[in-house]
Amino acid sequence: MESRFEISLLMDFYGKLLTEKQQYIMDQYYNMDYSLSEIAENQETSRQAIHDLIKRCHKTLLDYEDKLNLLERAQKAQQVKVEILGILKEKNWNSSEIERLLEEL
């Protein structure tokens, strides 16, 4: 789970568990695509300090996912929804029948 997109998803699930400063820096790096140098300049600190903070936060987010599996569960739920919709479409159910079934679930 190394891509920027996956880290961004982990931030969606676990970001509030980080400090405000950590959230801000992670958001700048992963979502706003700031460089380490740009963030360091904004924070009036060294590039190395920002790099270390991002690495620590990255590890923390992965640890949360290892323990809680919220992202994995959400991805599995989405996959099940797609499979169910595929089966319903195969059976040529109309949209009102699908909506009725989804409401029951």
Q: What is the pLDDT of residues 77-94, one digit of tens each?
A: 888 888 887 877 777 777
User: Exposed/middle/buried for 18, CB within 10 Å: 0-12, 13-18, 19+?
Assistant: buried
Per-residue pLDDT of 19-48, as tens digits, reads 999 999 999 999 899 999 999 999 999 999
Residue 1 has pLDDT above 50, yes or no: no
- pTM across the whole model: 0.76
Spatial CA neighbour of 45 closest among 36, 34, 54: 36
Q: What is the DSSP letter of 26?
A: H
